[in-house]
Amino acid sequence: MIAIIDYGMGNLFSVSKALERLGEPYCITNNKNEILSADGVIVPGVGAISDAMRLLNETGMADVLKDYAASGKPILGICLGMQLLFEASEENGGCRGLGLLPGTVVKIPGVTIQGEKYKVPHMGWNLLQLRRQSPILKNVEEGFAYFVHSYYVTTENEEIILADSLYDVSVPAVVGRNNVFGTQFHPEKSSMTGMEILKNFTVLVSERVSVK
């Protein structure tokens, strides 16, 4: 059973429909016990990271997610959900994140080093460039993924960047370390490429279930 975290923000329906297409059992929940007993957790999210963190902190869900990640079971953050996994963000004056991965969330500059302006948000289909092998990228070929975001992750720990996309800056698109994964794009909205990544996540979840 995969728990899709419901903290009041996020496209729960699309993610749940994608899991249905994969035949994967799921629940949409904000219940502590349900989350901690799940075999896998997906943190979705659209919107502002400061609001999301406030909601996660107010409901105690921030600590639940940290405990869950510490258990070693697979966790996947999507879009804003991925950004929440990092240490801090400068969105809306700055806030702390869950700190499960090293790095900071900063605004896409919107102007090149040469002073040329470009559009933000980074909205649309961009080419995924695979950087490192990972079970989450198994059988995934270079293809297009759908992004909608104005902030991106910067990190000194290059080894957690599994795939990236170029939009003036190098945007970490798939990140991961041990049992913690994230996609900056929306896999549930990224056609075949995205569905393959979600499928890989469900495989990680079931492999973990079968060895326990």
102 binds other proteins (CB under 8 A): no
Nearby residues of 13 by Cβ (< 8 Å), 6 or more positions away: none
46 binds other proteins (CB under 8 A): yes
Task: Give whichever of 113 and 211 is closer to other proteins, judged by the CB atom.
Answer: 113
190 binds other proteins (CB under 8 A): yes
Residue 2 burial (10 A CB sphere; 0-12, 13-18, 19+): buried
68 binds other proteins (CB under 8 A): no
What SS3 class is residue 84? helix
48 binds other proteins (CB under 8 A): yes
* 136 contacts 174 by C-beta, under 8 angstroms: yes
Two tokens, residue 183: 């996609």
Task: Give whichever of 92 and 157 is closer to other proteins, judged by the CB atom.
Answer: 92
The only residue of 71, 94, 124, 138 in contact with other proteins, by rule CB under 8 A: 124
The only residue of 34, 51, 87, 90 in contact with other proteins, by rule CB under 8 A: 51
Least Cα distance to 18 among 205, 141, 186, 185 occurs for 186
The answer to whether the peptide bond before residue 121 is cis (omega within 30 degrees of 0) is yes
Candidates 61-69, 145-153, 156-164, 204-212 — which segment interacts with other proteins by CB under 8 A? 145-153
Task: Give whichever of 36 and 106 is closer to other proteins, judged by the CB atom.
Answer: 106
95 is annotated as an active-site residue: no
State the catalytic residues: 79, 186, 188
